[in-house]
Structure 1
Amino acid sequence: MTTHTRPETRPNARQEELWNGPIGRHWAEQQDRYDAMSGDLNGRLFAAARISGGARVLDIGCGAGTITRIAARLAGPDGQAVGVDISAPLLERARARTAAEAVTNVSYVLGDAQTHDFPRAASTWRSAGAA
């Protein structure tokens, strides 16, 4: 007899569970350390991305929002950056850091980028962040 199982209706359910548990909390708590390790790579990323004033940026897998905030600053007051992540603890940290740094053209979405219904033409650049 063959047992059939239903395919997972949420393709990243396991990742969602992991990033909303101890792993996500650890990354949120240690984000400054992780940012320090990726500083040079971020510089290269932004040099290649060439984000300019008025850009609309979608940062997929934004984590604690470091790349999202930098992109928002580069996009300027006429631009916008949206970060999406599956981890509530990391987005909580992203929102707190964004408020503390007074970056006003940023928003964050809690969701799975693989299944989220993004508006068409929502961005001029996409980043996988640390993913």
Structure 2
Amino acid sequence: MSNRATHDVWNGQSGADWAEHQPDLDLLLGQSMRRLAALLPLAPGRQVLEIGSGAGSFSLALAHAVAPGGRVLGLDVSEPLLRLARARAEGRGDLAFAKCDIQTDALDAAGFDICAAHVGMMFFSDPVVALTRLRRRLTSGGVIVFNGWAARGNPWFSLPLGVAERHLGPLPSPPLGETPPPGPLAFADVTYVTGLLRQAGYRQVEGWQETIAIRHPGGLDALMQTLAYVGPISTLYRLKQPGAAQKAHIAGEIREAFSAFVDAGGGIDMPGTMAFYRAVAP
């Protein structure tokens, strides 16, 4: 099954936006990244494959954790994000990035001890095919760990989307019972995703939800700079194409709503909920 829609999104404006806002996104998602790393069996010499490596932030952290002797290969489909990731990793022999969609493209490299994805696994049109191909790249006993946004408990998504939908109409959703389309919330259902992992041949499959903190010391100004480019609101904007004046009005309402999450020091501190998944290759 083709994954063309995902390629088009991440090689278009979305990829450019995420590259531009990489420092802010690293701060906002820092706790999520650290929590995922804590679930990985990281040690010097480990061979790691990262899926949806984006601008390379998690890959860089993983490379530090498996040094000396380890190696990290980050895969992504976005040229803008890969350019940034390669620039950030310049001069490192233990870290490489490749343009590859594991669902549709050949990957000769194998023998990985760990496969990880920080909010990067939810963009496959056929996730069972992708997860199966990843299993075949792992050693026996190799571990796959990834996370994704939960459907509830995320004002980061729900608050701005609710405001935007009041002005622009609802974001289309798949009919009840259909497979979730690729996107930020595609892996929100723990039962569904653990089922995918079992279909793909993994054992010791686990899935659960956790509350995390989403923080940024730059406060509302920094948050508002990123909100139009991440999550469901960015999809709604692409579909509805609001004008500048309407976007400004929506942004004002969103800013007022998020003022409830400004801490005593002027930074943003809000709760979030993520689904985490872990499984083992036989």
| Partner amino acid, structure 1, of 2:117 | A
The whole-number CA distance in structure 2 between the counterparts of 1:35 and 1:75 is 21
* Residue equivalent to 1:57: 48
How far residue 34 of structure 1 moved from its aligned partner, in angstroms, is 0.7
How far residue 59 of structure 1 moved from its aligned partner, in angstroms, is 0.2
* 1:117 matched to 2:98: no
* Residue equivalent to 1:95: 86
| Partner amino acid, structure 2, of 1:42 | M
Q: In the alignment, which of 13, 16, 20 is matched to residue 11 of structure 2? A: 20
**1:72–1:103 contact (8 Å) kept in structure 2:** no
Higher relative contact order (CA 8 A, sep 6+): 1
The whole-number CA distance in structure 2 between the counterparts of 1:23 and 1:39 is 20
SS in structure 2 at match of 1:62: coil
**1:61–1:113 contact (8 Å) kept in structure 2:** no
The whole-number CA distance in structure 2 between the counterparts of 1:32 and 1:61 is 17
TM-score (norm 2): 0.41
How far residue 121 of structure 1 moved from its aligned partner, in angstroms, is 3.9
> Highest CA radius of gyration, 1 or 2?
2
How far residue 118 of structure 1 moved from its aligned partner, in angstroms, is 2.7
Task: Evaluate the alpha carbon distance shift between residue 117 and residue 69 of structure 1 in structure 2; reply closer, same or farther with a 3 A threshold.
Answer: same
Greater per-residue strand proportion: 2
* Residue equivalent to 2:27: 36
| Partner amino acid, structure 2, of 1:32 | P
The whole-number CA distance in structure 1 between the counterparts of 2:115 and 2:103 is 13
| Partner amino acid, structure 1, of 2:101 | D
* 1:81 matched to 2:72: yes
The whole-number CA distance in structure 2 between the counterparts of 1:97 and 1:28 is 12
Gaps of 5+ in 2: 121-282
How far residue 13 of structure 1 moved from its aligned partner, in angstroms, is 0.7
**1:59–1:83 contact (8 Å) kept in structure 2:** yes
| Partner amino acid, structure 1, of 2:43 | S
How far residue 50 of structure 1 moved from its aligned partner, in angstroms, is 2.5
* Residue equivalent to 1:5: none
Gaps of 5+ in 1: 1-7
**1:62–1:130 contact (8 Å) kept in structure 2:** no
**1:63–1:129 contact (8 Å) kept in structure 2:** no
The whole-number CA distance in structure 2 between the counterparts of 1:74 and 1:110 is 23
CA RMSD in angstroms comes to 1.5
The whole-number CA distance in structure 1 between the counterparts of 2:34 and 2:45 is 20
The whole-number CA distance in structure 1 between the counterparts of 2:36 and 2:15 is 24
How far residue 83 of structure 1 moved from its aligned partner, in angstroms, is 0.2
TM-score (norm 1): 0.84
